[in-house]
Amino acid sequence: MTTIEKNLQTVQSRLAAACQAAGRNRSEVCLLAVSKTFDAGAVAQAHAAGQTEFGENYIQEAVQKIVALHHLDLQWHCIGPIQSNKTRLVAEHFDWVQTVDRLKIAERLSEQRPAHLPPLQVCIQVNADGGATKSGVLPQDALALAQQVAALPKLHLRGIMSIPEPAPDFAAACAVFASIKAVFDDLKATGLALDTLSMGMSADLEAAIHSGSTMVRVGTAIFGGRVKAD
Ligand SMILES: *Cc1c(COP(=O)(O)O)cnc(C)c1O
């Protein structure tokens, strides 16, 4: 068994235990394998172990892997910041974009999505605690952007994602994740049909699942430590 296969089994066990502890069905939580800085061979190993959803931060690096692994049935999620001059690459190669935080980027993605592809699946990135990254809309601005994104023809708004600052312990992590879940619930209460709350990483996926996450983004616990900074 490869290290990646073993790691995936460990992560799957953590997910199952976290769902059970939270009284949730395992099928409510999608595992996104974050393969940034790892090569196409590592992604292929994870796929051989049953993994189909992959997240990437660096667009050019990602496109190389997406092209190289075109023969596999994979779903690729862009989870890194997107500059205007990269929207075309994203629109042409990815299945999901989780980091939309400006209307201008959303409009370009919609315009540039090739007609023969299904709509891009989109999450709005919400900056819940002002920390970790400066990316993301503030919670009070999420609804306006969500309504604008939902109206774009080649985008399908699925939910929100957030990258909060690492918390010191489980309770503190749950408090931040609960505030993100509240933003998600508020959006749904306005009538938006959303099903994706992307939060939680290797170190805090249990707290995220406890707090209602439907998608955890896990890199280190599957592929090992990254050499390159992120
Ligand atoms: C790198 C990254 C992850 C994965 O982080 P790990 O701690 O390695 O699990 C998740 N989400 C985003 C947005 C990332 O950039």
**pLDDT at 100 (0 to 100):** 98
The reply to whether ligand 1 has any atom less than 6 angstroms from the CB of 42 is: no
**pLDDT at 62 (0 to 100):** 98
**Is the pLDDT assigned to residue 230 strictly greater than 70?**
no
Tell me what the pLDDT averaged over the chain comes to.
96
**Is the pLDDT assigned to residue 39 strictly greater than 70?**
yes
Q: Measure the CA–CA gap between 164 and 161, rounded to whole angstroms.
A: 10
**pLDDT at 134 (0 to 100):** 75
pLDDT in tens, 79-136: 999 999 999 999 999 999 999 999 999 999 999 999 999 999 999 999 988 765 679 9
Average pLDDT over residues 131-148: 89
Kindly report the pTM of this predicted structure.
0.97
The reply to whether ligand 1 has any atom less than 6 angstroms from the CB of 77 is: no
**Which ligand 1 atom is the nearest neighbour of the CA of 217?**
10
The reply to whether ligand 1 has any atom less than 6 angstroms from the CB of 92 is: no
Domains of the chain with bracketed CATH: 3-15+29-223 (3.20.20.10)
HEC-encoded secondary structure of the chain: CCHHHHHHHHHHHHHHHHHHHHCCCHHHCEEEEECCCCCHHHHHHHHHCCCCEEEECCHHHHHHHHHHCCCCCCEEEECCCCCHHHHHHHHHHCCEEEEECCHHHHHHHHHHCCCCCCCEEEEEEECCCCCCCCCCECHHHHHHHHHHHHCCCCEEEEEEECCCCCCCCHHHHHHHHHHHHHHHHHHHHCCCCCCEEECCCCCCHHHHHHCCCCEEEECHHHHCCCCCCC
The reply to whether ligand 1 has any atom less than 6 angstroms from the CB of 201 is: yes
> In the numeric block, which tokens belong to residue 37?
């800085």
**How close is the Cα of 156 to the center of ligand 1, in Å?**
23
pLDDT in tens, 54-63: 999 999 999 9
**Is the pLDDT assigned to residue 229 strictly greater than 80?**
no
Average pLDDT over residues 42-62: 98
Report CA-CA distances (Å) from 19 to 77, 178, 182: 23, 16, 19
Q: Which residues contact 226 (CB under 8 A, 6 or more apart)?
A: 36, 37, 38, 219, 220
**Is the pLDDT assigned to residue 29 strictly greater than 90?**
yes
**Is the pLDDT assigned to residue 145 strictly greater than 90?**
yes
pLDDT in tens, 159-185: 999 999 999 999 999 999 999 999 999
**pLDDT at 130 (0 to 100):** 74
